Structure 1
Amino acid sequence: MYTLRGIPKWWFDHFQDLFARAKEGKLEGWRMPQRVDDFTSGLINIIETQGIQSFKETWDTLESRVRTAQWPLIALYLLRNSPAKAPEFLLTTHYEPYPPFGMLDRALTRNALLTCMDPERWPVITVPQRGVRMYVKSAGLKNAYKAFEIMRERESQVSAHTILGFMNVFINACDVDRALECLRMIPVINSPRLTMDSEGVLRHCCKLLLLDRVVDEDGSRNFKILPQILELGVKPCLEMMNIVLSNAFATGDSHLGMDMLKYMEDQGMVFSSYTYMTLLKDAVARTDVDRVESLLREINSRNDFRNNKFIASKVFHAHFVFNVKHYNTEISPSATFVDMLDFYSRYYDLTPLRDLKIIPNDYNNMEIDQDLQPSAPVLFIMLATYLRCSRNPERTLQVYREFCQRVAERHPLIAPLVQYPQIFNEFILSFRYPHSDLSDCVQIVEDMIHPSTESFVIDDELIEPAKPNIYTWTTLMSVFVAHGDPEAVRSVRETMEKNGVDFNIVTWNTIINSAVRTDDVPATALAMKEMDRDGFTPDAYTLKALRLVKEPELLQAAIQKLDEEAKKLLWEEQEALDREDDELLDKGLKRLAISAKT
């Protein structure tokens, strides 16, 4: 098969998609290729209902061209739905034209593993540990759990390295209790090559700590997982403390983060790039300019960080937040973009920007220190910077079309961006400027709802086109607010409610802002009451919108009126319930009286 053209790319894409989903336990979302027709379904039905022998009789009658077209589709179906039947299928169809070796290899490996290495048939005492680890790594989440339970029930002999294999599976499944159970087994096994302070154990502890969180117990706040790891005798290393530091700042409690930082300093730990990235992330999130500048001075004093791409990415993000996201009115938009482009070009390859037509093909910076491929966050930041600084809806649409074209071509750097709704949100936001064609803006949301491309795989990563999230809808709503179109705002709100999208504080602030801008006092009052009903309290952005109310006393009166109407409605409902109770009681007494007479 395929002697001239090679294995079809669509088959590799669908197989890699299937394999990636199987490893992640997300098979439900996988779809067969659109090439499947009634004839394919008929062949599959013969296998499922009549058996492989009946299928062979039908298969032998088919022309070579037909077999070449149908074999890949049936193989994919069996891998997904009936893996136990796949080996028989491979044997039955193993004659000219032979399936390519690359297709057989991929189809056979997983099926052979599941069929020939069933844990039910594993020996109890001397289980080959290498085989167990291979099975656990490749058999999928459900089968790995089954293997663990079987070995635990049988009290099978197991090595420390195998336990770490199970621990890794449980961490990937976010099963903290099982992962800790595995960790507690390590000192019991007492392997001289894998102690609690060995690199392998520490690496798995680091991965487990990524799932840690702060909980309130007995009036104090503490981490959930960290104390249990420390109780087992694990001595924190720099890598572990970096994760603990990140977890501490992620709680929003900067004091907790600074306590962890002081502990690291007291232990004499030399901060790594990961440490500084965590500190920068916290300072940027709090928009603490002084702290960012202080950290940058520390970073610049370290020669080992001079060409660190990860720190460069985080510093790049800080520049975006302070100069683009929070726009500096003292600098023109074009100057802001040039500054960001200059910073970008010190580290990263300019080709992706040329491919998006953000910069001309002949643009180049002769003072390039490095020529790294930009990560997805870096490329997103540069694209968002261009869109926010351009303020030209026509250019936005042109860049969006280039972006869609690169996704269709599976551009190795640009195509993965399609999985992030933030990219689409930036395109949508660019239509808030005057003279925008809002039908193009709406079309972007339509493209997200009905993507023109299916999920695909790049560098073994499953890429699924992003669907609209709460910020997509809220951004679209804000565009209509900027254009003074309250009807469109209401339409977006109705669409969100129809699709069960829960509003957040940003959504409510946008709705309130729309009502205020159109001097719709009743709508403003109603939105505030609904926001309160949803459990949100007014924030700085709510108050900023309310300061635009021309007649605050009318708004106050409208809110009081709504409160009175709500009280009246509750009173009427209670009255109706009381009357219903009285009527039921009267009927019950009458029935009792009649029963007593008879």
Structure 2
Amino acid sequence: MLFCPQQLVRARFQALLSAPYRSPGQWHRRSWPPNTRHALQYALNHTSTIPQRGADEHTVGETASEPTECEPKQDAAIDCSNQVASNPRRSYKSAGPRQVSKRAVKRALFSEGLRQSDATSVHERLNHEIQREKRTLSDKSIAISTISRGRSIYNAKGKGLQAWQHAYEEFYKAKHYQRKVNDQSIIPSLNQSGEAVLAKIQEDCNGTFRKFWEGTDREFKARHWQALAFWLLENDPKLFLNFLIVTMKGKETPDFTMVADCLLYVDNFYYEELKDWTTGPRAHGYSWIIEYCLRPATWPIVAPPHKGIRLYIRRARPYGVRLAFRTMKARAVQWKAETQLCFVNRFVQLGDIDRALNALKLIPRLNDPIFTMNSQGVLRHCCKLLTLDTVEDGESGRNFRILPQLLEMGVKPDRDMMNVVLANAYKTGDHQLGADMLQFMTNQDYDFDSYTYVTLLTNAVSRGDQARVHELIREVDAQEEIRKNPHVANKIFHSHYVFTAKHMDIDADPTGVFYSMLDMYNNLHDITPLKDLLIIPPHYKAREDGAKMPPTPMALYIMIATYFRCGSRVSNVQRIYQRFHELVRQGHPTIAPLAATDHTYNEFLIALRKSSRAMHSCVRIVEDMLQPPARLTIEHAKPSYRTWAILLSVFIWHRRPAAAEKIKEMMAKHQVPYNDVTWNLIINGYANAQKVPETAAAMKAMEAQGFALDSYTMKSLRYLRDPERLWVAVDELDRAAHEADSVRSSTTQDSAAVEDALRDEMIEKGLQKLGDKNKPKD
């Protein structure tokens, strides 16, 4: 029997991954009857455990509509009414997809108040798509498809859609390859009437043009929309977005395919310019226009433009993505594996594990030979999904949440997936679980790559296992390709910093430690940025042995921290900070990225906090973080919890309680809640100042916010000269809190008693009146 939760997780890993006769979806240990061996071996040799469907069963579109645990229950009712067969592999008895009758098309158009004269073109287009895609639609799906096509202003007989496709393809290629259009005649151009419409758009798009466009007929809109769209896309993309909003209102709108093409063009070539664009009194942004113009309610059921749908999934806000997923399932919109993987990727970005798994479960039902559950495209998305995996307590004990479900789908982990599983195993805090995973990878002859060694080095450093780090470094040195990998090299550099500079031995020579780190840095990176920061001593001679790669922000941070921790005068730290701030303001390509996190700023604060002359410099550093320089190409970091805690410790260390109170006010102003470190610093300051009532109040407030008094709190209380007074003060606070609760409780009871008395009195009066009315008249 295994009673330790960590051992239970390890046992399940071994039961899953080690047993030779386990199906890909089997997670728990169990004994198999002899007659099931053949079936298990068959399951192990196939990529999917999904059973094959018979010819008379529902196909992909219907299966995709089944409700899942994270979807609303009403979806099940919708799905049952929208049974759609979309699998091109049909029974030999079938005579082909069911044709849509012209009568059904007219009835659907009439119900929405659309033109009956378009019935012929809508009928022909819809039947052509059904035959091409080999889809059979339910009556409700036919109605939705008819209305979707009937709203398009390009349903009249003609070559409008074909002309658009040829023109857009040439227009897009010209922009992509930065060349002129080869055949200008295929691009719709503005005539005299179109130029007059363009003038209205440029004058007042949301006013004059909107009223004018609403008053025109369908033929006028179809004649001018394409030419206006191409001109605006080429000359004024911002104005095009306003033009698109206006023309998408009403019953008659541009074809969904055209709208999707235009927005793909804008997104591919102008996203960086337009991502902060807003319009209208409500300041609608770029994501809103994608959601409005490509809303799922307008998606065609048959042959939808999947690139446009994937654009919606990528750019829509969380609610819009969930709405799109529900709509595709409820209406059985024809989809592709790439679109499903786009849903998986987006849900992973949003941290929505359940919906990501539900989207992934639909992949096998598409029967796409390119995107099987063990294809590279699907496995890459599984790796991203596994980065969200955690260990949870379930009905059968502690277990990983995501990995078992992936295995039940038939996914066979490759090396990249096992690397993520290995990292997740170490994150649980159970070193033996990680060792078991590593042993499994070794037994299965997985080749270790840079990701594997970075994970192993990270775990060894976090445990302080210096011997294991040296062992891993020897393994890396024997493999030239991995040794030259920048991520592995930086991790080895970090491990050297942790064991030499960060936790420096009391007998170590600080100068020797610094030069040791500098030599290792010089072997990996260009030393010029350190010279720009004025950190390199004048007499140091760097080795020139060929071109070296620029340092990563992590490598630069490590060298700055090493320089400060190995002993540096306050004046030097102040000088280096002035230089650092100047380079950040100038946008130095290597130094400026350090301002994206608080780590470097925190190192400056730590280096300055013990000097009473540097308190003003500490405040200035935090002010610089709160008011970053303008025109920065990076997002400047704001002060973190750790930054505020270090600044607060500066004034507590130098016994400046008034200044410490000012820092607490600044934290409240910037809505920075206290954590356990902050409370311990406050208690330390009050205890040092012998403020017993304030110390007791801070302790009570710390407990009220859910933080337990720890060893650091007890250590701070040793500064009190009369600790007995502290416990008296704590008892007084407890007694006052109890009395306040009693008063509050009695007040509540009294008010309840008064309400009961009033209610009884009103009832008595009502009964008396009723009795008076029922008395017989004399």
The two structures have a TM-score, normalised by structure 1, of 0.75
Residue of structure 2 aligned with 1:158, choices 312, 331, 335: 335
Which of 423, 446, 450 is the aligned partner of 2:627?
A: 450
Q: Provide the residue aligned with 1:23 in structure 2.
A: none
How far apart, in 2, do the equivalents of 1:177 and 1:390 lie? 51
1:106 to 261, 270, 274: 270
**2:520 pairs with one of 332, 340, 343:** 343
Instruction: With a CA cutoff of 8 Å and minimum separation of 6, indicate the structure with the bigger relative contact order.
Output: 2
Counterpart of 2:694 in structure 1 is 523
Cα 1:344–1:538 change in 2 (3 A) is farther
The aligned counterpart of 2:118 is: none
Aligned to 2:639: 468
Following TM superposition, by how much is the alpha carbon of 1:565 offset from its aligned partner in structure 2, in angstroms?
A: 3.1
Q: Tell me the amino acid that sits aligned with residue 648 of structure 2.
A: M
Q: Which residue in 1 is equivalent to 2:657?
A: 486
CA contact (8 A) 1:213 1:224 kept: yes
Question: What is the CA-CA distance between 1:51 and the residue it aligns to?
Answer: 3.7
The residue aligned with 2:667 is 496
Once the two structures are TM-superposed, the CA of residue 217 in structure 1 deviates from its matched residue by: 0.8
| 8 Å Cα contact 2:522/2:543 also seen in 1 | no
**Structure 1 residues 362 and 373, CA gap change in structure 2 (3 angstroms):** farther
- Contact 1:347 / 1:368 at 8 angstroms: preserved in 2? no
- Residues in 1 aligned to 2:767 and 2:300: alpha-carbon distance in whole angstroms: 77
**What is residue 285 of structure 1 aligned with on the other side?**
462
Equivalent in the alignment of 1:246? 423
Cα distance in 2 between the residues matched to 1:225 and 1:50 = 55
Q: Which amino acid letter does the alignment assign opposite residue 523 of structure 1?
A: E
C-alpha offsets along residues 11-41 of structure 1, whole Å, 9 cap, x if unaligned?
A: xxxxxxxxxxxxxxxxxxxxxxxxxxxxxxx
> 1 CA distance for matches of 2:664 and 2:321?
45
1:421 and 2:421 equivalent?
no
The aligned amino acid for 1:469 is S
Shift of 1:466: 1.4
| Aligned-partner residue type, residue 504 of structure 1 | N
d(CA) in 2 for partners of 1:582, 1:170: 54
Match of 2:207 among 41, 46, 49: 49
CA separation in 2, counterparts of 1:229 and 1:512?
49
Write the letter of the residue equivalent to 1:488: A
Residue number among 328, 349, 367 corresponding to 2:505 in the alignment: 328
Alpha-carbon distance in structure 2 between the residues aligned to 1:445 and 1:453: 16
Show the counterpart of 1:201. 378
Shift of residue 403 of structure 1?
2.2
Shift of 1:393: 3.2
Aligned length: 517
1:260 maps onto 2:418 in alignment? no
Distance 1:370 1:177, change over 3 A: farther
Cα offset, 1:148, TM superposition: 5.2
Q: Distance in 2 between matches of 1:406 and 1:76?
A: 35
The alignment-based identity, stated in percent, is 39
Q: Tell me how far apart the structure 2 counterparts of residues 204 and 592 of structure 1 sit (CA, whole Å).
A: 68
1:287–1:79 CA distance, 2 compared to 1 (3 A): farther
Distance in 1, Cα, partners of 2:718 & 2:502: 23
In structure 2, what is the Cα distance between the partners aligned to 1:244 and 1:579? Answer: 61
CA 1:300–1:556: 2 relative to 1, 3 Å: farther
Q: Distance in 1 between matches of 2:714 and 2:528?
A: 44
1:48 is displaced (CA, Å) by 3.5
- The partner residue of 2:588 within 395, 400, 411 is 411
Question: Where in structure 2 are the equivalents of 1:311-390 lying within 5 Å?
Answer: 311-359=488-536, 363-366=540-543, 371-390=548-567
**Greater CA deviation, 278-287 or 207-216?**
278-287
Q: 1:51 to 1:133 in 2, by over 3 A?
A: closer
Distance 1:225 1:553, change over 3 A: same
Amino acid at match of 1:491: K
Unaligned runs of 5+ in 1: 1-42, 55-70, 88-101, 457-462
Q: Distance in 2 between matches of 1:76 and 1:419?
A: 31
Provide closer, same or farther for how the CA distance between residues 430 and 44 of structure 1 changes in structure 2, counting only shifts above 3 A.
farther
Shift of 1:200: 1.6
- What residue identity is the alignment partner of 1:417? L
Contact 2:302–2:334 at 8 Å: present in 1 too? yes
Partners of 2:466 and 2:559 lie apart in 1 by 21
SS at match of 1:222: strand
555 and 46 in structure 1: CA distance in 2 versus 1, 3 angstrom threshold:
same
Pick from 189, 207, 217 the counterpart of residue 394 of structure 2: 217
For the Cα contact (< 8 Å) 1:136–1:165, is it kept in 2?
no
The corresponding residue for 2:736 is: 565
Cα distance in 2 for partners of 1:128, 1:81 equals: 23
The offset of 1:226, in angstroms, is 1.0
Q: How far did residue 153 of structure 1 move?
A: 4.4
Q: Which deviations, in whole Å up to 9, do the C-alpha atoms of 1:467-506 show, x marking residues without a partner? A: 2221121111111122221222222223323443221111
Helix, strand or coil: the match of 2:566?
helix
- Residue 361 of structure 1 and its aligned partner are, at CA, apart by 7.4
Alignment-derived partner of residue 188 in structure 1:
365
Between the aligned partners of 1:373 and 1:381, the Cα distance in structure 2 is: 14
Greater Cα offset, 259-268 or 474-483: 259-268
CA contact 2:245–2:293 (8 Å) conserved in 1: no
Is 1:177 the counterpart of 2:177? The answer is no
Q: Aligned-pair distance for 1:194?
A: 2.5
Q: Is the 8 A contact 1:454 1:465 kept in 2?
A: no
Structure 1 residue 510: deviation in Å? Answer: 1.2
- How do residues 119-134 of structure 1 correspond to structure 2 at under 5 angstroms? 124-127=301-304, 131-132=307-308
- Given candidates 710, 714, 728, the residue that maps to 1:539 is 710
- Verify: 1:397 aligned to 2:574, yes or no: yes
CA offset digits 1:548-585 (Å, max 9, x no partner)? 44444343333333333333333343344444445555
C-alpha distance in 1 between matches for 2:240 and 2:637 = 26
Q: Decide which moves more: 576-585 or 323-332.
A: 576-585
Contact 2:612 2:654 in 1 (8 A): no
Q: Which runs of 5+ in 2 are unaligned?
A: 1-200, 213-231, 249-265, 276-285, 770-778
1:35-74 mapped onto 2 (5 Å cutoff): 46-51=204-209
Mapped contact 2:561–2:603 kept (Cα < 8 A): yes
Aligned-pair CA distance for 1:448:
2.0
Q: Deviations over 1:245-268 (max 9, x none)?
A: 212222334343334333333433
Quickly say closer, same or farther: Cα 1:503–1:190, change in 2 above 3 A.
Answer: same
Contact 1:393–1:433 (8 Å) recurs in 2: no
SS in structure 2 of the partner of residue 436 of structure 1? helix
Cα distance between partner residues in 1 of 2:408 and 2:363: 13
Q: Separation in 2 of the partners of 1:232 and 1:103?
A: 35
Q: 1:123 to 1:396 in 2, by over 3 A?
A: same
Q: CA deviation at 1:415?
A: 1.7
